[in-house]
Amino acid sequence: MVSVRRVLSILFCLSMAGLVSALAIGYFSSDGIQWIDAVRVALLAASTAWLAWGAAYAFNGLLSFPLAAEPPALAPVPSTARTAVLVPVYNEDPVKTFSHVAAMIGSLDALGIGGRFDFAILSDTRDERVAQEEALWFERLRRECGRDAGLYYRRREMNTGKKAGNVADFIRTSGALYDYLIVLDADSLMEGTTMAEMVRRMDADPKLGLLQTLPKIVHARSYFGRAMQFSTAYYSPVYTRGLAELQGNAGPFWGHNAIVRTRAFAQSCGLPELTGTPPFGGHILSHDYVEAALLTRNGWTVRVDPDLTGSFEEGPDNVIDFAKRDRRWCQGNLQHGRVMTAPGLKPWSRFVFLQNIMAYVTSPLWGLFILASIAAPTLKGVPDYFPEPGLSAVFPRVEQGLALTLLVGVFGLLIGPKLLIVLRGALSGANAAFGGTARALRNTLAEIASTSLLAPIMLMYQCRAVLEVFSGMDGGWPATNREAGSVSLSEAWAASWWISATGLVTLGFAFQFAPEYVSWLLLVAAPQVFAPLLIHVSSWTASAGSRQAGLFQTGADSQPAPVVVRQEAVLARWRGGMVHAGDVRTPGDEPVGLGVLASGVDAER
């Protein structure tokens, strides 16, 4: 059945690309077709196929998601297996990170199963001041959790291999003590019942090497962040269900909020250091998908179960921090071109690597399509109004109907699945958790509008990232602030003035060389021109009025998960007792910390 779904999904993508190509040929050939039109059609076909692949995930999810989905049976107690919960940190705010650990320990202890789970905080912190704070707060964490054993902290002298190297180092030194490892990020949260159920599912399937959950975003404050939080809560279960149906036993690994079988991971997932220098050489940044492929190569099952609730993470609250993280993912995904030909990999794993590359290459393809469309009238020259001597003039047809159909088709692949998810929620009753169908529809339309405005800006950031990687620039592992506030207009201008300039130049060339395309190009160029303002406004903290009106409402707003409530209470209590950094500090009953650090390093993936 998985093979049939894969074939049908690929045929759907090819059909959509073919249909759009036919419409484009009809529109472009209104004044005669030349080589530049063939280039435009090829670029459009490749980009459309990628959009259709995203829609295929949604359609598979919609078709396989039962309308009355039963919640998974959660194991009241785990097996006798021993599990280590790994929390890699790298220049993080220890107060924030350790409050997550405290909440998860409390959730497990409340179930009476805390003794089966050890927690290991694996520090790669380079900043000595932050390292001192980690040591202080770790002692506070141990005292409050009442754990003399089962809670560990170690700091590596060298952070070789970044997060993947950190986890590998733990496996080499301590992995033999544990049957399973739950791999988290510094901002991850998981319910105790969820962790217990993950262990139960691993026990039930001896061939299961890795089980990935679907983490939902929490603690979003800005309009940008809340739109992402709504997306992960409302759309992602359907898309992830489709992903699970297509990938089958060769599922994904997103680097966190997952459980792995220690023996399988140790035997299969030794990562090579790629020859040459970064960005294409060195340590693999997007290591998670490579590890999933290596597990599959060795015969282990890799699976994502979107029905597992109680898995959470935090996301960037503004476009700039999102783009910083995306730059690292871009470099890591493009590195997959070096590993997709490795011997023994399953064909589907190679196809997944191709998907990961296309996720970033598609943006430059769209950019080239826009440039080719602007240049086409000039390159094609003046139409020949008398193709045959002696006959009357033949004037080009203005195929606006075809152009409109083409535009509707492309946008339909983006927004159609989201509207179908609203319909499914109305039929299943799932919209009740999102304020009802009317509110869910309004929020879906608001999210589509928000995404449509910011997409041309992200297109430029991704184009720049791809160009930097291919020009040999190493983006490294950039710092980001997990609790970044709003972006000032001056900060937004400094980060995106070049996008505004690109939008203005694009419109200028369009007015000069292709005036018939100006109205279409405004959909892309206008948001780019106003990029600083859009970045600034989208980073504002959502007002109390908008929250009360239900903007981007999710079930977590009215009924937050117990582990989230627990973590918020711990963090508020800890931060309430802190003094400012630089004051005299003593490791007594009320140790102090730095509060929110000026910057941290995103440990995701």
Q: How far apart are CA 115 and CA 80, in angstroms?
A: 10
Quote the pLDDT of residue 337. Answer: 95
pLDDT of 443 > 80? The answer is yes
CA angle 230, 537, 533 (to 5 degrees): 130
The neighbouring-strand residues paired with 233 are: none
Beta carbons of 122 and 89 less than 8 angstroms apart? yes
Instruction: Name the percent of the chain lying above pLDDT 70.
Output: 87
pLDDT digits (tens, 9 = 90+) for 62-105: 998 766 555 565 555 557 899 999 999 998 899 999 999 999 99
> What DSSP line would sit under 516-540, residue for residue?
GGHHHHHHHHHHHHTHHHHHHHHTS
Q: Which of 252-266, 327-341, 534-548 has the lowest mean pLDDT?
A: 534-548
The neighbouring-strand residues paired with 311 are: 190
The continuous run of DSSP H or E covering 180 comes out as: strand 180-183
pLDDT band at 593 (very low <50, low <70, confident <90, very high): very low
Q: Which of 283-292, 493-502, 543-552 has the lowest mean pLDDT?
A: 543-552
CA 37 to centroid of chain Cα atoms: 34
pLDDT band at 532 (very low <50, low <70, confident <90, very high): very high
- Classify the C-alpha dihedral 415-420-426-429 as positive or negative: negative
Closest CA relative to residue 14, chosen from 60, 39, 51, 65: 51
The first and second tokens of residue 108, run together, are 């497990």
CA angle 534, 540, 543 (to 5 degrees): 130
Which residue type occupies 478? P
Report the relative pairing of strands 189-190 and 208-212 from DSSP bridges: unpaired
> What DSSP line would sit under 216-252, residue for residue?
EE----BHHHHHHHHHHHHTHHHHHHHHHHHHTTB--
Quote the pLDDT of residue 161. Answer: 85
Q: What is the mean pLDDT of residues 544-563?
A: 89
Per-chain mean pLDDT for the chain: 88
What ranges in 269-385 are assigned the alpha helix state H? 287-297, 319-339, 347-380
Query: In this predicted model, which residue has the larger pLDDT, 262 or 546?
Result: 262
pLDDT band at 594 (very low <50, low <70, confident <90, very high): very low
Q: Which of 86-95, 223-232, 406-415, 427-436 has the lowest mean pLDDT?
A: 406-415
pLDDT band at 576 (very low <50, low <70, confident <90, very high): confident
The first and second tokens of residue 101, run together, are 């650990």
The first and second tokens of residue 91, run together, are 């220049």
Q: How far apart are CA 170 and CA 184, in angstroms?
A: 14
pLDDT of 587 > 50? The answer is no
pTM: 0.89
Q: Which residues of 316-344 are buried (b: 16+ CB within 10 A; e: fewer)?
A: bbbbbbbbbbbbbbbbbbbbbebbbeeee
Q: Examine residue 279 and say whether the peptide bond preceding it is cis (omega within 30 degrees of 0).
A: yes
Q: Rounded to the nearest 5°, which phi and psi values hold at 371?
A: -65, -40
The first and second tokens of residue 89, run together, are 């940190």
The first and second tokens of residue 257, run together, are 């909020």
pLDDT digits (tens, 9 = 90+) for 264-297: 999 999 888 899 999 999 999 999 999 999 999 9
Quote the pLDDT of residue 158. Answer: 85
Q: What is the dihedral of CA 342, 343, 349, 352, to 10 degrees?
A: 30
Q: How far apart are CA 276 and CA 338, in angstroms?
A: 11
Task: Match 């406004």 to its residue by tokens.
Answer: 537
Task: Match 């405005």 to its residue by tokens.
Answer: 453
Quote the pLDDT of residue 173. Answer: 94
Q: How far apart are CA 489 and CA 537, in angstroms?
A: 8
